[in-house]
């Protein structure tokens, strides 16, 4: 096994680990949000209690997507073909757009939560 083979094998291991980390973050966030949804849904009947849960889930999704994008970049780090570069560009564009809209929604919901928590002055 030559140095190039070792490099490819090491890259594949790194990609696998980063993909697992991303999937783990998304899975953990989804389980956490589902449990909180059930607990808060049983305690409160107000829709307002679900906003913080959605915000937390959004953060987990953003972080998980960042890991997945990192894995895609690592995958093409060792002697990429033009097809792989094109796939990476498409994947990166889609994931970046998802991240953008998730972050925008998170910011809007955070502003809404902050506004609801402000005391009303008369």
Instruction: Provide the pLDDT for residue 25.
Output: 97
| 109 sits in which H/E element | helix 82-117
Nearest to 63 by CA among 109, 95, 17, 94: 95
Interior angle at CA 27, CA 58 and CA 54, nearest 5: 25
pLDDT for the residue numbered 33? 95
Which pLDDT does position 110 carry in this prediction? 82
* The pLDDT of residue 50: 83
Q: Which is nearest to 27 in space by CA: 62, 66, 60? A: 60
d(CA 27, CA 21): 10
Give pLDDT tens digits along the chain (122 positions).
777 777 778 888 999 999 999 999 999 999 999 999 999 888 887 777 888 888 899 899 989 989 998 998 888 877 678 888 888 888 888 888 888 888 888 888 888 877 777 766 65
pTM: 0.75
Longest dimension (CA), the chain: 77
Residue ranges of domains in the chain = 3-117
């Amino acid at each position: 096994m030559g140095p190039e083979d070792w490099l490819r094998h090491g890259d594949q291991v790194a990609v696998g680990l980063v993909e697992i980390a991303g999937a783990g973050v998304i899975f953990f966030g989804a389980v956490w949000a589902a449990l909180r949804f059930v607990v808060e849904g049983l305690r409160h009947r107000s829709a307002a209690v679900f906003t913080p849960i959605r915000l937390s889930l959004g953060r987990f999704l953003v972080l998980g997507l960042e890991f997945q994008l990192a894995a895609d970049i690592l995958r093409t780090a060792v002697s990429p073909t033009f097809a792989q570069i094109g796939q990476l560009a498409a994947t990166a564009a889609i994931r970046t757009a998802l991240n953008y809209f998730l972050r925008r929604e998170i910011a809007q919901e955070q502003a809404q939560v902050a506004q609801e928590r402000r005391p009303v002055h008369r």
